[in-house]
């Protein structure tokens, strides 16, 4: 049987480089699980990159949390996806999301919830993080996977007074996990479709 190699696209924004580190980790995880990965910075998206999103099997949305939601640049991109909405161009693709902000909570749940709504509007199928919460018991550590305890996507907390090199290793590992999970789930979806078509 030929190995199924899904294409996982990342559509993300990063104002100051922290969220870009998380995006790289999601990409690394997806590639390690056998996906072909396309990373697209949505604030400079080209026509060719829109076509790459249209062709992808999965799209992972990513943004810093600014003022309790995705960044303005991400929202500009999200509004532009309405062109795809009219034609159901992204219907039944796999979707997932990640965000990063300074505070441990920082209202990141709002950003991940927004990504889920965007995916649902397009008729995409959301993949959650699939990890139990870490760092929530006396025996737990801030180095645990999913140390911030999110379920619907990968979340990171980066100090507001440090550069991208300060992005927490546990958050990077959590993002790699999300990338792997999205790639594996997308391969299952593609295999299922092929089996049903055959
Ligand atoms: C305009 C603006 C709004 C922000 N709002 C929030 C917020 O609501 N919650 C939070 O925890 N951090 C907030 N932050 C901090 C950023 O989320 C944080 O610095 C993040 O690491 C930036 O990611 P980036 O380098 O990818 O842009 C805000 C930063 C900016 C510039």
Cα-flanking dihedrals φ and ψ of residue 88, to 5°? 55, 30
Q: How many helices (H) and strands (E) in the chain?
A: 6, 7
CA of 131 to the centre of ligand 1 (A): 24
CA of 126 to the centre of ligand 1 (A): 24
CB distance 67 to ligand 1 below 6 Å: yes
* Domain count of the fold of the chain: 1
Determine contact, residues 24/37, Cβ cutoff 8 Å: no
CB distance 102 to ligand 1 below 6 Å: yes
pLDDT > 90: percent of the chain: 97
Summarised one tens digit per residue, pLDDT across range 75-95 is 999 999 999 999 999 999 999
Determine contact, residues 13/74, Cβ cutoff 8 Å: yes
According to DSSP H, which parts of 100-168 are helical? 108-121
Domain membership of residue 37 (yes or no) is yes
CB distance 14 to ligand 1 below 6 Å: yes
Specify the 3-state DSSP secondary structure of 170.
Answer: helix
0.85 surpassed by complex ipTM? yes
CB distance 97 to ligand 1 below 6 Å: no
Task: Take atom 9 of ligand 1 and give the residue whose Cα is closest.
Answer: 106
CA of 154 to the centre of ligand 1 (A): 16
CA terminus-to-terminus distance, the chain: 13
Domain membership of residue 143 (yes or no) is yes
Domain membership of residue 113 (yes or no) is yes
Taking alpha carbons only, the member of 179, 186, 183, 188 closest to residue 29 is 179
* CATH number, position 19: 3.40.50.360
Task: Take atom 11 of ligand 1 and give the residue whose Cα is closest.
Answer: 106
Domain membership of residue 1 (yes or no) is no
CA distance 164 to 157: 11
Summarised one tens digit per residue, pLDDT across range 113-159 is 999 999 999 999 999 999 999 999 999 999 999 999 999 999 999 99
- Work out the burial of residue 61: count CB atoms within 10 Å of its CB; fewer than 13 is exposed, 13-18 middle, 19 or more buried: buried
What pLDDT band is residue 19 in, cutting at 50, 70 and 90?
very high
Domain membership of residue 95 (yes or no) is yes
* pLDDT at residue 3, rounded to an integer: 80
Domain membership of residue 2 (yes or no) is no
Tokens, residue 70: 């995705």
Sequence length of the chain is 198
What pLDDT band is residue 2 in, cutting at 50, 70 and 90?
low
CB distance 162 to ligand 1 below 6 Å: no
Domain membership of residue 160 (yes or no) is yes
> Which residues span the domain enclosing 35?
7-197
Tokens, residue 50: 């829109």
């Amino acid at each position: 049987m030929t190995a199924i190699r899904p294409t996982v696209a990342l559509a993300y924004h990063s104002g100051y480089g922290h969220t870009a580190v998380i995006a790289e980790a999601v990409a690394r995880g997806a590639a390690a699980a056998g996906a072909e990965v396309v990373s697209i910075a949505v604030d400079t998206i080209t026509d060719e990159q829109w076509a790459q999103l249209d062709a992808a099997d999965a799209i992972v949305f990513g943004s810093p949390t600014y003022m309790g939601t995705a960044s303005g640049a991400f929202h500009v991109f999200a509004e532009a996806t309405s062109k795809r909405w009219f034609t159901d161009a992204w219907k039944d693709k796999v979707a997932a999301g990640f965000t990063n902000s300074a505070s441990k909570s920082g209202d990141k749940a709002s950003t991940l919830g927004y990504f889920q709504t965007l995916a649902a509007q397009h008729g995409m199928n959301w993949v959650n993080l699939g990890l139990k919460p870490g760092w929530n018991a006396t025996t737990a550590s801030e180095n645990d996977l999913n140390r911030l305890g999110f379920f619907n996507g990968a979340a990171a907390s980066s100090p507001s007074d440090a550069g991208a090199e300060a992005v927490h290793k546990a958050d990077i590992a959590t993002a790699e996990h999300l990338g792997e999970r999205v790639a594996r789930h997308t391969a299952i979806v593609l295999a299922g479709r092929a089996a049903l078509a055959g």
